[in-house]
Amino acid sequence: MNFLNKKTIAGLAAVILTAVSLPFFLSETASSATNNGTASLSVSSGTGATNVSISLGGSASCPGDSNAGYRWQTFMIPAAADIDSTLTFNSSGPIAVSGQFRQPLFDTNGTPIVNKLTDIAVAPSTAGGISGIPAFNFNVFSPGDIPNGAYKIGVACTLGAASSTQLQSYWSRVITVTNDNTNTDPAKVDWVLGSVPSAPSITTVTPGDTQLTVAFAAVTGDPAVTSYSVSATPQGGGSAVTVSGSSSPLTLTGLTNGTTYNIVVTATNNVGTSSTSQQSTGVPAAPAPTTTTVPPPPTTVAPPQTPAPQTPAPQTPVTTASPVVSPAPAG
């Protein structure tokens, strides 16, 4: 028996085992799938024709092997979709959700990468390795098939048919796709790793003399945020005033005191710029004039007057005249 026949028989046996075990899988208690982390791509950007290899890091594996009914799948779904609660698979790949683009990845020959067997575990009931993930591209799609936007792409481990417990674990990475009719690839798209940041949130607006200081909550991004921009537009009409910087707060200057401004904030990374924050308002104002109160002069209390010493007036001696005695008459 050659190697190919052995592999084919092993695959058929695994399919039969899955069918026999299916009622058991569906009766399992629902549980959250394990997020095994970020998948790595061999390039950081490309067109629809760019061949991309995906790596899961380390010795990636499913919780069990294919003899126990495990399979590994690939997926491409909107970045806003919740993998744990919405991602299920059938023989064609991710099961469609109304209004959403959901597809498997396709290898460079246009074959969907679905229902792949794991490596056979060394011991029963142990992990089944994931190996031989082929390179993929987007050549199978026609122009407009992939709407503009951010997508999660990755690899998932499944057990049994579609159910609330089918998804066991997964690896994912976000890319952003943009339609580009100037491309020569069949899909006419460009893509880049990561996505634009989420919108910041304004926390406070502090008025000053011809200025407004705007504080906002920082946001995370993949790739990291490189700058923030704050814009203020007069409510009565006029040109917006904008200031950029790397962190909160940022101060808008050159504004008109007494004018109400509408204020928004955006965040930017290497992929693009976020949507605007919620709108806040602010009114620049000159500080109120400061009134200086001059205290009255202190009351001066005159010191008590010491009477000047009195110099007694010189006394003029009084001369008492001696009485004049008249001589007695002669007799």
pLDDT tens string, the chain, 331 residues long: the values are 333 333 333 333 333 333 333 333 333 344 589 999 999 999 999 999 999 999 998 889 999 999 999 999 999 999 999 999 999 999 999 999 999 999 999 999 999 999 999 999 988 889 999 999 999 999 999 999 999 999 999 999 999 999 999 999 999 999 999 999 999 999 999 999 999 999 999 999 999 999 999 999 999 989 999 999 999 999 989 999 999 999 999 999 999 999 999 999 999 999 999 999 999 999 999 887 777 677 777 766 666 666 666 666 666 555 555 555 555 555 5
In a shared domain, residues 82 and 223? no
Which residue among 133, 167, 193 closes a domain?
193
331: in domain: no
Structural domain contains residue 33: yes
Domain end residue (candidates: 193, 209, 235): 193
- Are 174 and 82 contained in the same domain? yes
189 lies in the same domain as 207:
no
Domain count of the chain? Answer: 2
Looking at the domain assignment, is residue 291 inside a domain?
A: no
CA-CA-CA-CA dihedral for 110, 116, 119, 125, to nearest 10: 170
Name the phi and psi angles at 266, rounded to 5.
-130, 160
CATH number at residue 275: 2.60.40.10
Residue 270 included in any domain = yes
The answer on 171 and 53 residing in a single domain is: yes
Do residue 187 and residue 243 come from a single domain? no
Please check whether residues 135 and 240 belong to one and the same domain.
Answer: no
Same domain membership, residue 115 and residue 64: yes
pLDDT at 28: 39
* 80-127 pLDDT tens trace: 999 999 999 999 999 999 999 999 999 999 999 999 999 999 888 899
Query: Is residue 139, in this structure, part of any structural domain at all?
Result: yes
Residues 82, 209, single domain; the answer is no
47 lies in some domain:
yes
For residue 275, the model assigns a pLDDT of 95
Looking at residue 39, what is its pLDDT?
A: 96
What's the distance, CA 318 to chain centroid? 119
- Residue 315 has what pLDDT? 61
pLDDT score at 23: 34
Which domain covers residue 34, as residue numbers? 3-193
Residue 226 tokens, joined: 């490189």
Determine the length of the chain: 331
Is the domain of 30 the same as that of 138?
A: yes
Q: Which of 114, 133, 154, 175 is nearest to 33 (CA)?
A: 154
Domain stop point among 149, 171, 193? 193
In a domain, 215, yes or no: yes
Is residue 87 domain-shared with residue 58, that is, in the same domain? yes
In this structure, is residue 137 part of a structural domain?
Answer: yes
Same structural domain, 83 and 46: yes
Do residues 41 and 120 both lie within one domain? Answer: yes
